[in-house]
Structures are given as C-alpha cells and as structure tokens.
Amino acid sequence: MRYGPILAAAMLGGMASAAAAQTELSLWYHGAGSANAEEALVNQLVEEFNASQSDYTVVIETFPQGAYNDAVGAAALAGKLPDILDVDGPVMPNWAWAGYMQPLGIDEAKLDGFLPGPIGRWNGEVYSVGLWDAAVAMTTRRSTLEDNGIRVPTLDAPWSLEEFNGALATLKASGKFEYPLDLGMAWTGEWYPYAFSPLLQSFGGDIVDRSTYQTAEGVLNGDEAIAFGEWWQSLFEMGYAPGTSQDAADRDTGLLNGKYAIAWNGNWAALPVVEAFGDDALFLPAPDFGNGSTIGAASWQFGVSGTSEHPDGARAFIEFALQDRWFTAFSDGTGLIPVTAAAAADTQNYKPGGALEVFYGLSEAQALVRPVTPGYLVQAKVFEKALADIANGADVADTLDAAVDEINEDIEANNGYGH
C-alpha cells in the first residue's frame, strides 16, 4: 500500500512529461464571427489532428477577417508569426515574397486531382493549399431565357459578346425587369478583381502582364482593355446594370424577387436560388468575349509561416487536412466547392445530380487565378478604383492609363517584386 502514492506520482509524472513532450503549434485563422460553419469545422479539424498523434498540439487563434491581414503584418514585423497561417489565395505571393511564409514542402502527389485554384504556387513552389474553392456564374432562370427567345449557353458554347449584349437588350426591352443584369456593384473590395478581371481577360486584357509581372502597360490600357472598359461603361449608361450605388439588399434578393433577370454571383449565393426556383434555376458559364471564358479562383488556404521553428509539425497538420473527408465536410458545412472530384461525389450539393454540381464543372474548366505576384495587393485596389470610376462615367482610356501608371510605379518602387 505504501508504494501506492509513489506509483501514482510516477504515473502522473510520466503523463506530465508525455504531455510536455508535445510541441505546441500556433495556428491563426481569419474567420472569427463568420456566420457559417467554417470556424466550427476548423476547430474540429484541429481537435482531430491533436487527437490523432502525440507529437504536436495545434492551438488556434481566431481573428476577424477585416483585421486579419493587418494583424499578420504586425506580427511579422515583431517577429511573432504563428506556425501555421491561413492566407487568402491571391495574397499568398505577397506574404511569400515578404518572408511571412515558407514553401510548404509537401509531397505534391498529394495534390493530384485538385482543382487548380486551391493550390497556391509562387516562384515554382507550393506555399499554400486550400480545402475549398469558389466559383461565379451567370445565375438566372431557364424560363426567363426561353420566354425571351435567348439561347441557353453551355460550357462548350458560352455566350459571345454579341449574344450577351443582345440578351441584355432583349431583357431590358421586355420591361419586366428593373435591370437585366446584376453585377454585384454593391459589393466592394476583392469582389472587383475576383469577379470582374475575368471579364477583362476574356476581352484579351489583364490587370498586369503575366509574362513578366513587371508592367501593366499594354494589358490594362491596350486596345482590348479599352474595348472592355467601353463595354463596361455602356452597361451602366444603357441601364443594363445597377451601378456603384446599388442597394446591398437588392444584391442579395434582386434576382429572387424579379428585379434583375441575370445575376453574376457566386456558388455561396446559389442555394437560395435553387430553393426559390427549383429546376428553373440556371447557373451559366461566363460569356466568351473573344479570348475564352474564365472565372476567378482561389479562396482561403493554409501555409507554414516563414519563421516557424516547427515546419514539420505545421506540414503534418496541413497534410492531415488534405483528406477528401475534410473537403466533403467543409463543402457540406459551408456550401463551398470541394477541391477534388472524389470529395465532390460525397457532398450534398456537388455530387452528380446535386443542386450545385455545375459549379464544380465551372471551377474545373474556367478557373483562372488572379495575378500571381506580390504586387497584386496594390494592383487589386487600383483595378477596383478604375472600374468603379469607369462605371461612374470617367473617361475609359484616361482612367486605365492612370491605373497603369499607378501599378507600374508600385512595381518599380518594390524593385519588381522579386520576379
């Protein structure tokens, strides 16, 4: 009996030392306060990883999205970055260039079969991986198109510029809608480059010259970009789309209550459309304005911080997350697109015959990531301002020239951003 306390103490000591042997990994996540299930799923992912092995314990800190990037910047300055970072896809090159992140170093065979958007590459190396992606589509009703004699486009045969303009004119002339097209101008920020730069790319322009990433000259103010700008401005001048003063509530419900005929919107807003219109709901590919039909790609992803002292542990966590069951769980919980076909087949919405199956196909066929350059953060804001100004009546050529100057000056000021 007298050995009992000693034995118990020894056992407790052993347990304590086992616990102490675990290396703590910090993870920062951007979605504090998010209304959907994403935060709960990230917490579940952390819990299951911690329970699955005895080497590491991941501790999560959540940040409100609006403050997240600034918090990471401040922490990097103070040398206090966490081990695992959550990063928005188009922001990753900037963080990698600034040394906030290091190459992931995972076996790329694990990424076979992934959609292109969720893989974050910079300078030939994978820095981040996402568990989901998002896609946008021309959202409308089959009956709206058929009643107005408008062809239903397909991935193989999307609308051409003439067809699309004709469809808008027809819908406007029908007098049934306040506007034939809702572009979502009530939304600001990243929505502009994410949703609208693919339209510019389809015209043949771009935000920056992707062959060198050293200039926007010729791509953001060339003939194709000016043609895009003039078309863009005409949408508002001709009353085809509500402009920058659009009511945010109309953005959410305008299509559902018949105010708009077609909405350029994402898969995250698709389920209410399906619920409202059932089989009549249509999610159509982006029009082809002459240089292919593309949509934006890349959402939030996980990566390893540049100062992590435990990159092996951080990598182990990310590899643990790269399982189809997690892709399925996140998709079912948040409505976003799973990153592999196998995971999609198990989801509620993206399985064959699922309500949102079409979005997986759109992501697979049309996704084009935003410019992969550290300068994107500045370029996105310049692009947003230029498009808003043009929508509000600014001279197209002058506005695009000014945008090019601003982007080029930033690239020069940053010595080419390491390209």
Partner 1 sequence: MALVTPDNHGLRLWTRYSVLVLVAVIFIFPLLFMAMSSLKPDQQLLSDTNSLRAFLPVGDISMQNYTDAFERAPIGVFVVNSVLITGATVLFTLFVCSLAAFSFVFLEWSGRGLIFSILLATLIIPYESIFIPLLLMVSQLPWIGTGGLEWGWLNTYRVQIIPFIADGLSIFLFVQYFKDLPRELIEASRVEGASWWTIYRRVVMPLSGPVIATAAILKFLFMYNQYLWPLMVVQAEEIRPVMVGLGYFTDQLNVPWGEVMAYLTVITIPVLAFYLSLQRVFIASVASTGVKG
Residue 24 binding partner 1, by CB under 8 A: no
Residue 395 binding partner 1, by CB under 8 A: no
**Cα(419)–Cα(417) distance, rounded to whole angstroms?**
6
Q: Quote the least distance from Cβ 229 to partner 1, whole Å.
A: 24
Nearest residue (CB) to partner 1, 170 versus 253: 253
Instruction: Map the footprint of partner 1 across residues 28-67, applying CB under 8 A.
Output: 28, 31-35, 61-67
Residue 187 binding partner 1, by CB under 8 A: yes
Query: Looking at 27-35, 98-106, 305-313, 393-401, which segment touches partner 1 (CB under 8 A)?
Result: 27-35
Q: Is 204 exposed, middle or buried (0-12, 13-18, 19+ CB in 10 A)?
A: middle
Q: Interface mask (CB under 8 A) for partner 1, residues 62-91, using x and -?
A: xxxxxx--xx--xx-xxxx-x---------
Closest alpha carbon to 342 in 133, 132, 135, 113: 113
Nearest residue (CB) to partner 1, 165 versus 379: 379
CB atoms within 10 A of CB 416: 15
Residue 399 binding partner 1, by CB under 8 A: no
Residue 253 binding partner 1, by CB under 8 A: yes
**Cα(231)–Cα(400) distance, rounded to whole angstroms?**
14
Q: Is 91 exposed, middle or buried (0-12, 13-18, 19+ CB in 10 A)?
A: buried
Nearest residue (CB) to partner 1, 33 versus 278: 33
Cβ pair 120, 303 in contact under 8 A: yes
Query: Looking at 142-150, 211-219, 246-254, 391-399, which segment touches partner 1 (CB under 8 A)?
Result: 246-254
Angle 338-342-343 from CA coordinates, rounded to 5°: 35
Cβ pair 7, 40 in contact under 8 A: no
Residue 252 binding partner 1, by CB under 8 A: yes
Residue type, 265: N
Phi, psi of 90, rounded to the nearest 5 degrees: -70, -15
Q: Quote the least distance from Cβ 189 to partner 1, whole Å.
A: 6
**Footprint of partner 1 on this chain (CB under 8 A)?**
28, 31-35, 61-67, 70-71, 74-75, 77-80, 82, 187, 189-191, 247-249, 252-253
